[in-house]
A and B are shown apart, each in its own frame.
Chain A
């Protein structure tokens, strides 16, 4: 019975494939039939088929997208040698190859024949794209996306595809509120405003003007400047005269300003809003003046109400008027901040004065206003004609294509509604343009009829995450954006621009599932020096929220690394192993690399015996795939297979107990990770997946939960002592503590599915580069393509992908070339993709 069904299936399959390939039909029939019968049907037959795949029920000729996708899945498993599994006898490679090419031919035939349904591309802007688009449209940055419902976060997947970007009334109302905020800031009233000025000086007595890394006193410059009155809208300017006291071996420090609630003495839940950071290297006695600018709307503070008598809940509430505190922070950090080193041995900033001014009214009305309401005699002579010109200009930018006469007429009608009640032109234009900012032409990636404007938006949203700039729109207007040479030139221009950084950050964070690194609770008893903790009070032991740590650098490191690969057009293999890393002093100290000084990330050539190189050993990846206490081989294996090899690893069933933490639930008790995994695999329900998962993760075991090379672990069953700051006072003491905990050598040897033995990270990398190059390249192609198109790829795309993979594997091709090729491909150029 089973056999005959299977034969029917296969006959259809083979008769189709025969059309595509000039194989001997009967020979191929016997081949594939025998192959599936021998190697597959035991598990994937009618009785309780594994992965719910019953090959006897899958028609050889796909009749639907779903069936074609199932065949593609079979194809991938065979191609990559993931099936048949290691436990059963291996078929001859040549037999597998023949079957693979048969299935591939059938799929090719199906794709050619099946109806091409256009994918939905009229997706709304993601919050990331919305924020950037508003910034570029207005000409200044307002924090707007934070008022919107969050976009979905699905690890290893991109959230810019239509099916994830939904719209509802609540969302629309929030767009309306944002549009009103934006226009209130963008268009000013005609009268020159009152300018608020405040200035404060600090003298050198009692070192009041010196800003240390920590431990500042009352009355010191660390308390900052309080502003009591400021405008509701507008640009502010802060000027600071500063220099530095640099002990031997140091030459600069990052100086950051924060404006909002005061930071001194409070680490509570109050939000804080950075103004900017400068690289301070002026020597004491030769101070320099530094200037910061920003929008006052981005620093909201509200009056606070307190109980009169010292915080008790009796007595009356009293309102303390809001004040805007500008606090300077000395962010110097060479990786030893937790080591209790005296303040004098660290750079100190000397701040002579801080000056605040808002709104900045050097030119009034400001440029962002005149960009919309430009100067023109028409304004007085024919106001309505003027408004139409205003609309024509603004809508053409907001809609990313020339506004049509209908667009202009409709918005002119809207203008008249708002202007009817005697509102000023400024007020009515604000309201009118706010409506445009909630219209589908603005909020959605429109299915532009014009191929060149469509391409301008595709390129800019792919490589910048924002609207096209003037150059792109000019190229579109000249009808040049279907020309591969112009496209290549534009892609390289976009990638060289600062905004490419936004693309790489957004892309990498999702592709590599980096979010977890930032939110994972770290066991601070085991890694007391990884974060900065509040020393005393109600919040003792919690992370200091307003001081960046090496954990923030880690995310920047990975983003900078991917950007460097793209900008320098490095080979795709470098994602697995590279001869350089992107480091600053703090990261270098964390990883044990010498000779890197300063706060800025830069490209550092790695020595031959390094433990670093490539993505696999970067802190953001390793920390995010740990438990906060210990490495987690399953998370790491999943990460490698998803992010690097492009597999989809299924989530465990909900009722399976989680693997225990090898450092114990609270790091009290250590346990050997290999034993835990073995126990886990012994359950039949777990083994199916874990046999193909665990070995990959074991190879990462030399790297600890905070991303450092740590070749030792606590012995089995021992009670892990927490760090005691009183006993282990300095860096050496800390090392001593670590040495007392981690005493047993790690065993990182494992056998990968398919039989290759690897021992640790170096082996794993070599094996990946030797045996998985094509898989890694294909994954990179698919990730970039899917992100760029804003949709998931389907079986229909596989031949286009194949072609791009072949191009990318040419010996001289780099990552930037791949991006160019993607943008030149039919998939990208054609409307229905």
Chain B
């Protein structure tokens, strides 16, 4: 009989909406990663309320010279080809060969969602306009499903507002599958403790006993649920299946925790970080979050991370005040996207770029094997609500890192007119890069050879 913690193929395929090549699956198990395997990592990050692009108000350049602003546009340069940098993108200037900008990509499934809801599907590409309005698995979680067992944590899901939010107003990028948003963590202290002090001071034997009991209890819960299941009608059985799957998933996590128990935790000095910082101090807060992501990757605690830097429904969060704290702007941060004052709009993009560049630079400055950490980390940064008109097409998309995973950078790529391809094609390439051999993802039509040539 198969052990309950064995990752079975049906579990993997159910609800993912993706097809995996079979030979790969045969070898799947919860075995530890071979120690000589170098990590392949993925970070997906998101900003809200669009970006300022006077020459490309619909996300693609208007072609009119009078629309071009000399300093300010989220797009670093006017044309496809090698990158040059304006003021908005200046923080990335010394990372030129590690980044790409991509114009004209979006998710078809997000077209009909309003601008303030399309963030829900940024990492999933799900079609939420159907009757059930449910999301699907996000690319970071798909990677976690396949390679998550190699690290202490399968994935790390962060946001600045915390929790899941609700339909049409997600505060997390990550979803296990339909109706399973993963709550984002937003408090630095909590993130630090979960990463580096998971046993809250309990000794190994106590934790082990706890986990053992938990496993036995879960078996009984499953037994109870199955007997209930058999008494139900068809429609209700389907409902209860969700519950059973959830219990099995919890069971697997318990098994995982147990298998990592005797491995030493990385020792990180908490005073090297300001874990008390809050979003009232935007720059230190965002950098602290990026630092935690860096530490999680550097200690190989996880390889799959999502980070919702800003949600599309931030009315109740400190993000509303960022524009005020940072630039003394009189309105809400959200107002910037409607009123579009040149200078402030540009500075806002520039500030975001500075923080993201800070993170990329930390990865790049950390040697790994015969390169650096950034070379083995693919980092997506973008938004699904690009423009003032709440139009949900042609997202601002920025990709960094992963050169040793096959990516080539230094260009602005345009996918316009009949060259247009789904954003999901990029996701397919990202998944391939981290060793997830999907044939397709969401509405993809292929992969993206422009960025990852000759590697399949």
Interface on A for B, CB 8 Å cutoff?
Answer: 117-124, 149-154, 162-164, 166-174, 176, 268-269, 305, 313, 317, 406-407, 410, 413-414, 417-418, 420-421, 435, 438-441, 443-444, 446-447, 449, 519, 521, 651, 653-655, 657-658, 665-666, 832
Question: Is there contact, CB below 8 Å, between A171 and B236?
Answer: no
Min Cβ gap A343→B in Å is: 31
A406 cross-chain contacts in B, Cβ below 8 A? 227
| A168 CA / B250 CA spacing, docked (Å) | 9
Question: Is there contact, CB below 8 Å, between A440 and B225?
Answer: yes
Question: Is there contact, CB below 8 Å, between B163 and A149?
Answer: yes
State the majority secondary structure of interface residues on A: loop
- The residue in chain A whose Cβ has the minimal distance to the Cβ of B325 is A538
Interface centre among A120, A173, A521 (most CB of B within 10 A): A120
Q: Mark B370-399, 1 if CB is under 8 A from A, else 0.
A: 000000000000000000011111000000
Given the contacts A166-B134, A169-B176, A305-B276, A435 and B221 also touching, CB distance less than 8 Å: yes
Q: Mark B232-246, 1 if CB is under 8 A from A, else 0.
A: 111110111011011
A154 cross-chain contacts in B, Cβ below 8 A? 133, 167-168
**CB<8 Å pairs between A and B, sample of 8:** A168-B181, A421-B213, A444-B240, A654-B113, A654-B115, A655-B389, A665-B339, A666-B339
- The residue in chain B whose Cβ has the minimal distance to the Cβ of A652 is B114
B351-372 interface (Cβ within 8 A of A): none
- The residue in chain B whose Cβ has the minimal distance to the Cβ of A658 is B390
B223 cross-chain contacts in A, Cβ below 8 A? 410
Question: Is there contact, CB below 8 Å, between A149 and B393?
Answer: no
Min Cβ gap A633→B in Å is: 19
* Residue B247 lies at the interface, judged by CB distance under 8 Å to chain A: yes
* Residue B38 lies at the interface, judged by CB distance under 8 Å to chain A: no
B132-147 interface (Cβ within 8 A of A): 132-134
Question: Is there contact, CB below 8 Å, between A168 and B242?
Answer: yes
A414 cross-chain contacts in B, Cβ below 8 A? 217, 220
Min Cβ gap B275→A in Å is: 9
* Residue B435 lies at the interface, judged by CB distance under 8 Å to chain A: no
Given the contacts A169-B176, A413-B220, A651 and B114 also touching, CB distance less than 8 Å: yes
Min Cβ gap A753→B in Å is: 26
Question: Is there contact, CB below 8 Å, between B235 and A119?
Answer: yes
Question: Is there contact, CB below 8 Å, between B243 and A150?
Answer: no
- The residue in chain A whose Cβ has the minimal distance to the Cβ of B249 is A169
- The residue in chain A whose Cβ has the minimal distance to the Cβ of B182 is A170
A305 cross-chain contacts in B, Cβ below 8 A? 276
- The residue in chain A whose Cβ has the minimal distance to the Cβ of B393 is A655
* Residue B32 lies at the interface, judged by CB distance under 8 Å to chain A: no
Question: Is there contact, CB below 8 Å, between A123 and B315?
Answer: no
* Residue B194 lies at the interface, judged by CB distance under 8 Å to chain A: no
Min Cβ gap A304→B in Å is: 8
| A317 CA / B271 CA spacing, docked (Å) | 10
- The residue in chain B whose Cβ has the minimal distance to the Cβ of A434 is B217
B276-317 interface (Cβ within 8 A of A): 276, 278-280, 284, 315-316
Q: Mark B311-355, 1 if CB is under 8 A from A, else 0.
A: 000011010000000000001100100110000000000000000
Min Cβ gap B80→A in Å is: 24
A118 cross-chain contacts in B, Cβ below 8 A? 233-236
* Residue B180 lies at the interface, judged by CB distance under 8 Å to chain A: yes
Which of these, B239, B249, B276, B332, contacts A123 with CB under 8 Å?
B239
Min Cβ gap B38→A in Å is: 29
Which of these, A124, A171, A407, contacts B180 with CB under 8 Å?
A171
Question: Is there contact, CB below 8 Å, between A172 and B250?
Answer: yes
6 further A-B contacts with Cβ under 8 Å, apart from A121-B236, A654-B113, A654-B114, are A117-B235, A152-B167, A162-B235, A168-B180, A170-B183, A440-B225
Question: Is there contact, CB below 8 Å, between A170 and B236?
Answer: no
| A317 CA / B270 CA spacing, docked (Å) | 12
Question: Is there contact, CB below 8 Å, between B180 and A166?
Answer: yes
Question: Is there contact, CB below 8 Å, between B179 and A166?
Answer: yes
Min Cβ gap B339→A in Å is: 7
Interface on B for A, CB 8 Å cutoff?
Answer: 111-115, 132-134, 163-169, 176-183, 209, 213, 216-217, 220-221, 223-225, 227-228, 231-236, 238-240, 242-243, 245-247, 249-250, 253, 274, 276, 278-280, 284, 315-316, 318, 331-332, 335, 338-339, 389-393
A170 cross-chain contacts in B, Cβ below 8 A? 176, 180-183
Question: Is there contact, CB below 8 Å, between B389 and A151?
Answer: no
- The residue in chain A whose Cβ has the minimal distance to the Cβ of B131 is A163
| A117 CA / B234 CA spacing, docked (Å) | 9
| A150 CA / B170 CA spacing, docked (Å) | 10
Q: Which 5 A/B pairs are nearest by Cβ-Cβ distance?
A: A166-B179, A168-B180, A169-B249, A122-B236, A120-B235
Question: Is there contact, CB below 8 Å, between A418 and B213?
Answer: yes
Question: Is there contact, CB below 8 Å, between B112 and A654?
Answer: yes
Question: Is there contact, CB below 8 Å, between A444 and B243?
Answer: yes
- The residue in chain A whose Cβ has the minimal distance to the Cβ of B246 is A172
Question: Is there contact, CB below 8 Å, between B180 and A169?
Answer: yes
Question: Is there contact, CB below 8 Å, between B228 and A449?
Answer: no
A438 cross-chain contacts in B, Cβ below 8 A? 221
Question: Is there contact, CB below 8 Å, between B166 and A449?
Answer: no
Question: Is there contact, CB below 8 Å, between B217 and A654?
Answer: no
Min Cβ gap B133→A in Å is: 8
A173 cross-chain contacts in B, Cβ below 8 A? 250
A413 cross-chain contacts in B, Cβ below 8 A? 220
A657 cross-chain contacts in B, Cβ below 8 A? 389
B243 cross-chain contacts in A, Cβ below 8 A? 124, 167, 172, 440, 443-444
B225 cross-chain contacts in A, Cβ below 8 A? 439-440
| A255 CA / B179 CA spacing, docked (Å) | 43
Which of these, B177, B213, B280, contacts A268 with CB under 8 Å?
B280
Question: Is there contact, CB below 8 Å, between B112 and A435?
Answer: no
| A154 CA / B113 CA spacing, docked (Å) | 13
B233 cross-chain contacts in A, Cβ below 8 A? 118, 447, 832
Min Cβ gap B132→A in Å is: 5
| A741 CA / B57 CA spacing, docked (Å) | 34
| A152 CA / B164 CA spacing, docked (Å) | 10
| A384 CA / B183 CA spacing, docked (Å) | 40
Min Cβ gap A522→B in Å is: 12
B180 cross-chain contacts in A, Cβ below 8 A? 166-171
Question: Is there contact, CB below 8 Å, between A410 and B224?
Answer: yes
Question: Is there contact, CB below 8 Å, between B112 and A447?
Answer: no
| A653 CA / B112 CA spacing, docked (Å) | 7
A449 cross-chain contacts in B, Cβ below 8 A? 231
Which of these, A418, A435, A440, A521, contacts B315 with CB under 8 Å?
A521
